[in-house]
Amino acid sequence: MFRVFSCLTAEHDLRLVGLAGLVCFLASLAAINLFHRAVATRGRARALWLATAGAASGCGIWATHFIAVLAYDPGIGLNYNVGLTVLSLVLAAGLTGTGLSIAVYNRSHWAICLGGGLVGGGVACMHYLGMWALEMPGHIAWSADLVAASVLLGMVFGAASLWIAIRGTSTRDTLTAGVLLTLAIVSHHFTAMGAVEIVPDPARAINAFSLPPAWMAIGIASVAVAILGMSLAGAFVDKRTAERIAHMAHHDPLTGLPNRAAFAAQFATVLDRSAVSGAGFAVVCIDVDRFKEINDLFGHSAGDLVLREVSDRLLTAVKDQFVARLGGDEFAIIVQGSQQQTPGASVAESVLSAMSDNLEIDGHRIAVGVSVGVAIYPHDGADAATLLSNADAALYRAKAEGRGTIRFFAAEMDQQLRKKRSLQHDLRSALERGELCLFYQPQARTNGDVIGFEALARWQHPKRGMVPPAEFIPIAEESSLIISIGEWVLREACTEAASWPRPLQIAVNLSPAQFRQGDLPTLVHSILLQTGLSPSRLELEITEGVLIGDFTRALSILRRLKALGVRIAMDDFGTGYSSLSYLQSFPFDKIKIDRSFIANLQSNRQSAAIVRSVIGLARGLEVPVVAEGVETREQLEFLARELCSEIQGYLIGKPSPIAAYSEMIGRGEAVQMVQAVA
């Protein structure tokens, strides 16, 4: 150890030693960041990231070594053999890249240790080959014990670095792994230099094909620039990936139009401006006529082509106005800046005109018409919900009166509103009359193991029969009814789950309204105590609507809920804003991919790309993913290949009373499972 210290302090220029350490640390950070990108991707992209990470770490090892050698003053002149110097760089990149690959492709403990050890071995091979490249009037005598110690240090610190890097991608983990990789390189180098004793030999000739120190310095500077370039490339790709995910979150994958979340945000902005300026604007709702018949007759792929063509024609017809696809065959336009007495009239007529010509789809001429409903601010409503509802009412009238027409909202069109109010009135007493019940849908791993259920509210109306959740839940959301219904669902689901022989998890949806009113964490805590359900078995699902608005309050409530020991899942990921800041601000336990993306996996490349991106993003965050709406074996096999954690959908089981799943919850003799993917 004294020999190493003496070599470092007496035989080296400490300024260049410091530079070598800085270059080593920056190169190590670049390599770890690139390594994280490789862990988060698959296929050819992973191989490319691994090659880049190996090149970055190899260049860092090489530059560190030769900067430190330039700092070394043995008392005689040194030159550098060109062939061996270049070979040492190639060897460093190749061995470290191989070590990183072993750790990525096989995540077992032994593979991580082996990969890290190979990285340390690459450091050693580069160092001793680099020392062999020295041309000088003398020869080197080695101290065997320090040589062995240098190799061991590089391998131990290399293995520790990869162990931390595989564990997580947080700033702390990245810095720790970078420091350990720096130690692997630096500790090896200076321990190995302590093993050197140069014996002068004036008779030894220096190879004419060798580099003087000045040229070597230029070569080292070039490699350092290459390391910086790799780092910048990685940061650029990270930025592009984030931008791509953000774009996918705000746009419909099929048509490229803004989605419902983007429409809601634009609607709120326009409404705020108009409230200040007093300017009117129109909301135009558009529905493709008989779209189901097109799907049934020509197939869903043709239906997708129709939607794309309709989108293109809408954009051409309305020019600078905001167009969005709200879902299915429903589109909406926000018309601003019109000088007409009736804003939206000319745009609505342009839309009908644009759809007058038949579409050429897969060799078929398809007649496609649209129905249009228009509501005008402030005459037909002063808030977003009322305006959109009235535009929908006008659209409903247009479709009812022969389709292919335009209807502006009028007071007599409020029949639908009266129906909603009637349902709202009946819903107020539904709990008291015992008309609400819970259905349960199983959730499973992709290998078929059932791990829990999602509780879903159903309403058995005495006159209307079974009212769909899509009809009564929005009504409850618009009023305070969702608070009492949400509490009842949570209590009933926890009571039921606590009675199961098998300790499966139970998932319950929470409404944004439950976060705005009352003390939700206290309610959850009291229900857990009353029912005896273990907090670890309860999973609370929220949508991004919970976080929009009073973000700070919502985040505080989520943290209090998490402190109880329950799990928090982000539901319907991909259909709202899907803001990456939400995933950064709160440690969600699970991400649920919306069923709309799963339904189009086989027919839509964009849907498959979104699903693959979200799974990769979640894997990088070490958050499990649940794919909703899995109905076919093909969808299951795709998700299994992408290493999706869990699935939910009709392939596992339909929402049903819990009695239908008595075997799954352990009340029968056997537990039903989906056939595992081969």
129 contact partners, CB below 8 Å, separation of at least 6: 84, 87, 88, 91
Residue 194 to residue 317: CA distance in whole angstroms: 77
Q: Same domain, yes or no, for 41 and 169?
A: yes
Q: Which residue has the tokens 């040589």?
A: 147
Residue 673 belongs to a domain: no
- Residue range of the domain that includes 644: 431-661
Q: Which of 247, 275, 299 finishes a domain?
A: 247
Give yes or no: residues 469 and 604 share one domain: yes
Strands 538-542 and 505-509: parallel
Nearest to 545 by CA among 583, 513, 590: 513
* Same-domain pairing of 316 and 374: yes
Q: How many CB atoms lie within 10 A of CB 190?
A: 20
Q: Which residue has the tokens 């909703």?
A: 628
Cα–Cα distance for residue pair 120/181, rounded to 1 Å: 9
Q: Do 22 and 116 sit in the same domain of this protein?
A: yes
Q: Is residue 420 part of a domain?
A: no
| Residues in the chain, pLDDT under 50 | 1-6, 8-10, 208-212, 214, 216, 669-678
Assigned domain for 675 exists: no
436 and 400, same structural domain? no
Tokens of 260: 């419902």
Distance (Å, rounded) from C-alpha 393 to C-alpha 416? 7
Residue 402 within a domain: yes
Q: What is the DSSP letter of 205?
A: P
Q: Is residue 378 part of a domain?
A: yes
Same domain, 395 and 356: yes
> Would residue 426 count as lying in a domain?
no
CB contact at 8 A, 327 and 260: yes
Q: Measured between alpha carbons, how far is residue 542 from residues 457, 568, 572, 573, 648 in Å?
A: 15, 7, 8, 10, 16
Question: Does 578 share its domain with 639?
Answer: yes
CATH number at residue 285: 3.30.70.270
In a domain, 677, yes or no: no
pLDDT at 532: 95
Q: Does residue 606 contact residue 624 with C-beta atoms inside 8 Å?
A: no
Instruction: Name, in order, each residue with C-beta under 8 angstroms of 564's C-beta and a sequence gap of 6 or more.
Output: 521, 524, 525, 528, 535
522 φ, ψ to 5°? -65, -40
Residues 623 and 657 in one domain: yes
CA distance 531 to 119: 54
Is residue 423 a part of any domain in this protein? no
Could you list the beta-strand ranges (E) of 207-357. 210-211, 281-288, 322-327, 330-335
DSSP secondary structure, 329-346, as one string = TEEEEEE-S--SSSTTHH
| Euclidean distance between CA atoms 284 and 347, whole angstroms | 9
In whole angstroms, what is the distance from residue 319 CA to residue 457 CA? 43
SS3 48: helix
> What is d(CA 457, CA 168) in angstroms, rounded to the nearest whole number?
38
Q: Which letter does DSSP use for residue 653 in this model? A: -
Among 247, 278, 300, give the residue marking a domain's end.
247
Residue 598 sits in a domain whose CATH number is 3.20.20.450
DSSP 587-633: --SEEEE-HHHHHTTTT-HHHHHHHHHHHHHHHHHT--EEE----SH
- Alpha-carbon distance 562 to 558, whole Å? 6
3-state SS track over 414-427: HHHHHHHHHHHHHH
Q: Tally the domains of the chain.
A: 3
C-alpha distances (whole Å) from 532 to each of 296, 469, 667 are 50, 29, 19
Give me the helices (H) in 506-579, please: 512-516, 520-531, 551-563
Residues 34, 164, single domain; the answer is yes
Q: Do 219 and 281 fall into the same domain? A: no
Evaluate whether 178 touches 25 at the Cβ level (below 8 Å): yes
In this structure, are 512 and 603 located in the same domain? yes
What is the rounded CA–CA span in Å between residue 69 and residue 79?
11
Write the CA distances from 668 to 659, 664, 671, integer angstroms: 10, 8, 7
Same domain? 148 vs 221: yes
Distance from C-alpha of 213 to C-alpha of 70, rounded to nearest angstrom: 7
Which of 638, 644, 636, 634 shows the shortest CA–CA distance to 673? 636
